[in-house]
Amino acid sequence: MLEVSNLNAWYDESHVLHGMDFTVGEGEVVTLLGRNGAGKTTTLKSIMGLVPNRKGSVRYRGQEFISARPDVIGRAGLGFCPEERGIFASLTVHENLLLPPIVAPGGLTIAEIHDLFPNLQERARSPGTKLSGGEQQMLAIARILRTGAKLLLLDEPTEGLAPVIVQQIGRMIAEIKRRGFTVLLVEQNFRFVSQLADRHYVVEQGRIADMITAEALPGKMDDLHRRLGV
């Protein structure tokens, strides 16, 4: 579904991605793991066209998007949930949900979203600012599900959240997968992703250093903890 090859990216003179190569298959949950500064966020932003200076290849469903604008990439069916979540404080939960444009058929209806996230239904009239961190994260993911995007790029969805909320987010991602969505996930929370993902890519200094399947993961735990410094 997504093929990233020889992806390079720069911020001004600073060369941050040095030939990222990886794939995400339809219906998979795939993670990018790595130390701070390894280039995980930059990879997601580069896929979405948000890093102006990038080279290589980003193919989605066979089509090349390396030179495309972010709005074109969004309309092709890629939805990005940034680390800062982007909830508008002056809008209600419901208004935040309705904000992103529908890009393709097959997105969840508001009723389906409320089914999946009962909290958001209860909070529909609350302003974005009144939400807890976990509710904001759920809202940020929910509104992408509504747009019809089929590939979700999630940047550290569990960051700063309490363990019980992290579990909720995990159940939600599992349910999203069950419904046929594909997820590329950047995470530091290793325990969280180890139960969730089909495959893991280890990112080191702007490159893929290793690929680990869910089956191979138990045997690689020590090695991974050392590499990730966790």
Contact footprint for ligand ATP (CB under 6 A): 11, 14, 16, 34, 36-42
- Percent helix, strand and coil across the chain, each rounded to 5? 35, 30, 35
- The answer to whether the CB of 13 falls within 8 A of the CB of 67 is no
Q: Give the shortest CB-229-to-ligand ATP separation in angstroms.
A: 12
Phi then psi for residue 50, to 5 deg, are: -95, -5
- Least separation in angstroms between CB 146 and ligand ATP: 26
Task: State which residue, 41 or 194, has the beta carbon closest to ligand ATP.
Answer: 41
> What is the closest distance, in whole angstroms, from the C-beta atom of residue 42 to ligand ATP in the complex?
3
Closer residue to ligand ATP (CB): 144 or 203: 203
Cα-Cα-Cα-Cα dihedral of 90, 99, 31, 114, to 10°?
90
Q: Which is nearer to ligand ATP, 145 or 186 (CB)?
A: 186
Cβ closer to ligand ATP: 3 or 204? 204
H helices of the chain, in order, are 40-47, 70-75, 93-98, 110-116, 118-122, 133-147, 163-178, 190-194, 217-228
CB of 44 to ligand ATP, least distance (A): 8
Beta carbon nearer to ligand ATP, 46 or 168? 46
Q: How far apart are CA 219 and CA 107, in angstroms?
A: 38
Give min distance, CB of 88 to ligand ATP, in A.
22
